[in-house]
């Protein structure tokens, strides 16, 4: 099971499984969450799960705004917004291969597959 204590994504992970959006998990929603976490044994499934965390509006893409929000969540006030915006710009410039100003799953996987980033964005499952 994903370790949630102190995880800045706890509320978003919770919301992924709160299908009704009422702030609680029904028994069925909780069961679905447990079943989902059990299947995260392959690297592909872990990429898909990480993608779901970043894709807050669930449109199948990670926008610059979503990437910026994740960086803010991870780094808090450690860096000024202008620096985070530069990181987002550089990331999109390098990994948005089709130029649509958002990352699809394949582009996201390319980002996370970089040797220097692999450990920084990993999930401990």
| 108 and 95 in a common domain | yes
CA–CA gap between residue 7 and residue 66 (Å, rounded): 18
On whether both 85 and 48 belong to a single domain, the answer is yes
For residue 111, what are its two tokens? 């980002």
Task: Tell me the per-residue pLDDT of 11-39, one tens digit each, with 9 for 90 and over.
Answer: 878 888 898 889 999 999 999 888 888 87
For the segment 81-89, the average pLDDT, to the nearest whole number, is 93
Whether residue 106 sits in one domain with residue 120: yes
Instruction: State the Cα–Cα distance between residues 110 and 103, nearest whole angstrom.
Output: 10
Q: What is the mean pLDDT of the chain?
A: 84
Range of the domain at 10: 1-38
pTM confidence score: 0.72
Q: How many domains does the chain have?
A: 2
Pair (53, 89) in one structural domain = yes
Which H or E element spans position 70?
helix 64-75
Q: What angle do CA 58, 63, 65 make, to 5 degrees?
A: 105
Are residues 18 and 31 part of one domain?
A: yes
Same domain, yes or no: 125 and 96:
yes
In this structure, the answer to whether residues 34 and 83 fall within a common structural domain is no
According to the model, what pLDDT value does residue 69 have?
92
For 62, the token pair is 């990670």
86 and 123 assigned to the same domain: yes
């Amino acid at each position: 099971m994903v370790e949630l204590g102190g995880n800045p994504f706890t509320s978003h992970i919770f919301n992924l499984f709160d299908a009704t959006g009422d702030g609680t998990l029904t028994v069925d929603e909780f069961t679905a969450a447990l079943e989902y976490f059990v299947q995260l044994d392959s690297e592909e499934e872990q990429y898909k799960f990480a993608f779901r965390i970043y894709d807050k509006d669930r449109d199948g893409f990670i926008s610059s705004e979503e990437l910026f929000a994740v960086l803010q969540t991870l780094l808090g006030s450690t860096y000024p917004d202008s620096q985070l915006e530069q990181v987002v710009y550089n990331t999109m410039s390098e990994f948005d291969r089709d130029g649509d100003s958002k990352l699809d799953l394949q582009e996201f996987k390319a980002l996370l597959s970089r040797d220097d980033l692999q450990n920084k964005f990993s999930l401990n499952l």
